[in-house]
Amino acid sequence: MTIEVPVLEQTNADVARPVASVRLSRLVRPALGLLLPLSLALGWELAVWLGYSNGRLVPPPTKVFATIVELAKSGELSRHIATTLSRVAAGFALGVVAGTLLGAVSGYWGLARRLLDPTVQALRAIPSIAWVPLFILWLGIFETSKVALIAVGVFFPVYLGVMGAIHSVDRKIVEVGRIFRLSGPAMIRRILLPAVLPAYVVALRVGLGLGWMFVVAAEFMGASEGLGYLLIDGQQLGKPAQIVAAIVIFAILGKTTDWLIELATAPLLRWQDAFGRGRGAA
Amino acid sequence: MLALDRVGKTYPNGVHALSRFSAEIKLGEIIAIIGGSGCGKSTLLRAIAGLDRATSGTVTLDAATITAPHAKIGIIFQEPRLLPWLSVADNIGFGLSDLPADARREKVTRALVRVGLADKANAWPRELSGGQAQRVAIARALVPQPEVLLLDEPFSALDAFTRRDLQDHLLDLWADTRPTLILVTHDVDEAVMLADRVLVMRPRPGRLFEEIAINLARPRDRNSPHFDNFKRRVLTALDRSLDRNVPDSEAAANAGEAMWW
Ligand SMILES: Nc1ncnc2c1ncn2[C@@H]1O[C@H](COP(=O)(O)OP(=O)(O)OP(=O)(O)O)[C@@H](O)[C@H]1O
Ligand SMILES: [Mg+2]
């Protein structure tokens, strides 16, 4: 008897599933990803509150939040965010344009690849931070050198992604274009572009991630504004809450911009028949 | 008329895939090409399609020498090769981009009905079964109304039932505009069911070995003794093309099977 009750319940739940669970899972699934960070934050808050730690070096969430609010009220926060965002945007745009053009050229023409690719690969082997002193000498310590560094970081994954994607477009699909006698531009627009799009989106997202990484490096090398400046400032003045606040904002901005790319390209990739589809990639 | 004049192909790696293949094929004729694996059937078809160039000899359609894909020549491959980012309807309309949108839409709609996929117009290729996808590929190749349609083992990836279904379907579609069909196949049953003439090839180097005219009225009955008779003739020719001296009785026994190897 005791065994049968849950079985019965489950049958009822199954009947209700088609309508209710779709709606439910749409709300619950993204929330699932918040579970771990939220409970960690809550746990730390409790630990400090109960006196297990003084929270001086690792400030509790309320203190971080208070710092963010304070910065926001003074208008400083939006200034720092705007500065950092504009640097990332400029560097990302430059890196994407250069990476896409060169990647497309060496993906499309074998000769260009043979000429270009070895050099690019050699440059790629240089840790990008090693450029910093040169960039400062060449471009000064202000915006230009920072944007250049970010652009370098974005360039390589985009270049590699585009080149690899074009290079590996299925010959069989290209033959379909040939049979219908597409001209060169039509072949690019109707066959190559759609075929490389999924890989291109991945390359853009990787590039953006590196852009966020390099903006911090760029802002470490002497800045009076920006989230990276907040980090350095917090370290020099011994304000861990400010450091953590900047880190949290980096996380939020990074995730949001990545999500924006995903959102913007999703309609173009609806046709994809991939393993990850429908498996709840947030 | 499609004329193949001593068409030969040697690949850059030195493989002599095709040697002096000649044939004259009238408009509206259905030709089946059959032969062992590696005897140059795909090579020949790709040369006719203009996808690869023959290293010797010429392919001419009416007065034009074929050196590159031609508007009047279509091809259907072994795989459907649908473009995964286009809906079924857009795949079928892929070769009609010169037409104004509504003329194109009308042709596509008619083709969709004709291949029995009217309800799949907006589906993605990944949502189709193998047989449905191949029907879309057939429709895509037929809507520009080619004069010559080449088919390279178009049904070989399908199960026997679907294959028969599509063979009948292909004949139906063929009857609409009566293009020339050149069909490469491994399936003797398919060759005898569809073709006016069966060209048997032999390997190393690939060349024409024997030509068998199938003088059977359409629609053909797969179970008639005449049908069996032609199947047996094609099978024996195939066996001889591979220098296999199979006694007639055994060939006859094999004739019952759709696939000859
Ligand atoms: N691109 C290529 N480069 C070099 N050799 C090739 C190429 N394509 C085909 N060959 C060779 O040419 C010969 C004929 O090949 P082909 O594909 O025309 O045979 P087939 O009759 O279509 O065989 P199957 O029935 O297995 O499809 C084979 O020996 C093959 O190895
Ligand atoms: Mg072949």
- In chain B the domains, ranked by start, together with CATH numbers, are 2-82+146-258 (3.40.50.300)
Question: What is the rounded distance in angstroms from the CA atom of residue B9 to the CA atom of residue B225?
Answer: 39
Summarised one tens digit per residue, pLDDT across range B199-208 is: 999 988 888 8
Query: Using the beta-carbon criterion (under 8 Å), do A175 and B51 form an inter-chain contact?
Result: yes
Q: Is the peptide bond before A118 cis (omega within 30 degrees of 0)?
A: no
| Structural domain includes residue A3 | no
The total of structural domains in chain A comes to 1
How close, in Å, is residue A172 to chain B by CA atoms?
7
A193-220 vs A143-167: helix crossing angle, rounded to 10 = 150
Helices (H) and strands (E) in chain B, counts: 8, 10
Please report, in tens digits, the pLDDT of each residue of chain A (282 residues total).
344 444 434 444 444 445 566 666 777 777 888 888 889 889 988 888 888 887 777 888 888 888 889 888 988 889 999 999 999 999 999 999 999 999 999 988 889 889 989 999 999 888 878 888 888 889 887 889 899 999 999 999 999 999 999 988 999 999 999 999 998 888 888 999 899 999 999 999 999 999 999 999 888 877 788 888 888 888 888 888 888 889 989 999 999 999 999 888 888 888 876 555 554 443
Question: What is the rounded distance in angstroms from the CA atom of residue A28 to the CA atom of residue B74?
Answer: 51
| Structural domain includes residue A39 | no
Residue B222's pLDDT is: 86
Alpha-carbon torsion angle A110, A115, A116, A121, nearest 10:
100
CATH code, domain with A217: 1.10.3720.10
Residue A92's pLDDT is: 94
Retrieve residue B3's tokens. 């004329």
Question: Whose Cα sits closest to atom 4 in ligand 1?
Answer: B11
Of chain A, the end-to-end C-alpha distance in Å amounts to 41
Average pLDDT over residues B6-22: 90
Q: Is A191 on the interface with B (CB under 8 A)?
A: yes
Using the CB atoms, write b or e for A31-49: b if 16+ within 10 Å. Answer: eeeeeeeeeebeebbeebe
Average pLDDT over residues B233-238: 89
For B139, the enclosing helix (H) or strand (E) is helix B130-142
With a pLDDT cut of 70, the percent of chain B lying above it is: 93
| Structural domain includes residue A69 | yes
Retrieve residue B94's tokens. 């892929």
Residue B168's pLDDT is: 87
pTM for this one?
Answer: 0.78
Question: What is the rounded distance in angstroms from the CA atom of residue A257 to the CA atom of residue A139?
Answer: 28
Which atom of ligand 1 lies nearest, measured to the CA of B201? 21
| Structural domain includes residue A21 | no
Indicate the residue of B68, B71, B84 with minimum beta-carbon distance to A273.
B84
Question: What is the rounded distance in angstroms from the CA atom of residue B158 to the CA atom of residue B169?
Answer: 14
* Containing structural domain, residue A260: 52-277
